[in-house]
């Protein structure tokens, strides 16, 4: 099982102008709900989880966030991607008293516990490569992001 199987073109938003993590959650939740990927309580649950378990990560010269929530809120598995040139503030995973400005947000909508760990490991492999993140940030549309990610994961496998 590879993370690119869960990428949905309608949930890949490039160069977004959102300014808060709540805006990210609302935007993606609205689109996911429209596609029947999530239940009505998905938005509330993802907000609640982020408060308790922040998801911002400071990496080598850039930041990312990987929010996710309870499996029972997900009716069809997905991974949403949002890119932001200015960055969206998220509390840090390792120190909630500090924030990062996430340039890339990978929202996980997974409902099988074993797939979540596997997908997180794969994503971390992708996100730890600065060139890969810079390339993702350079794209102007979601299909280019998906094609690129599928291409690099096929090279690895």
Kindly give the pairing relationship between strand 78-91 and strand 99-109: antiparallel
Rounded Cα distance between 89 and 66, Å, is 13
Measured CA distances, 72 to 38, 105, 108, 119, 122 (Å): 9, 21, 13, 18, 23
How much is the average pLDDT of 33-49? 97
Ranges of beta strands (E only) in the chain are 7-13, 56-58, 63-65, 78-91, 99-109
Q: What pLDDT band is residue 1 in, cutting at 50, 70 and 90?
A: low
Q: Supply the pLDDT for residue 17.
A: 94
Helix (H, G, I), strand (E, B) or coil at 68: strand
- pLDDT at residue 114 greater than cutoff 80: no
For the residues 1-25, what does the mean pLDDT come to? Answer: 93
How far apart CA 156 and CA 123 sit, in angstroms, is 13
Domain enclosing residue 29, as ranges: 3-156
Q: Which pTM was predicted? A: 0.94
Q: Which has the closest alpha carbon to 59: 130, 139, 3?
A: 130
If pLDDT is split at 50, 70 and 90, which confidence band does 25 have? very high
- Nearby residues of 115 by Cβ (< 8 Å), 6 or more positions away: 1, 77
Structural domain total, the chain: 1
Is-contact 130 105, C-beta < 8 A? no
What's 142's domain CATH number?
3.40.930.10
pLDDT higher than 80, residue 119 = yes
Lowest mean pLDDT among 21-25, 80-84, 89-93, 124-128: 124-128
Contacts of 150 (CB under 8 A, 6+ apart): 4, 7
């Amino acid at each position: 099982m590879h993370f690119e199987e869960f990428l949905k073109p309608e949930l890949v938003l490039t160069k977004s102008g959102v300014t808060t993590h709540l805006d990210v959650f609302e935007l993606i939740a609205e689109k996911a709900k429209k596609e029947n990927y999530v239940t009505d309580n998905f938005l509330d649950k993802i907000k609640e989880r982020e408060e308790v378990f922040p998801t911002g990560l400071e990496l080598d010269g850039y930041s990312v966030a990987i929010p996710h929530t309870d499996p029972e809120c997900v009716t069809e598995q997905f991974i949403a991607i949002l890119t932001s040139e200015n960055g969206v503030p998220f509390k840090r995973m390792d120190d909630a008293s500090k924030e990062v400005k996430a340039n890339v947000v990978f929202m996980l909508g997974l409902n099988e516990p074993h797939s979540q760990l596997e997908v997180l490991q794969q994503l971390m492999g992708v996100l730890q490569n600065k060139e890969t993140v810079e390339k993702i940030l350079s794209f102007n549309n979601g299909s280019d992001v998906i094609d690129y990610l599928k291409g690099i994961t096929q090279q690895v496998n």
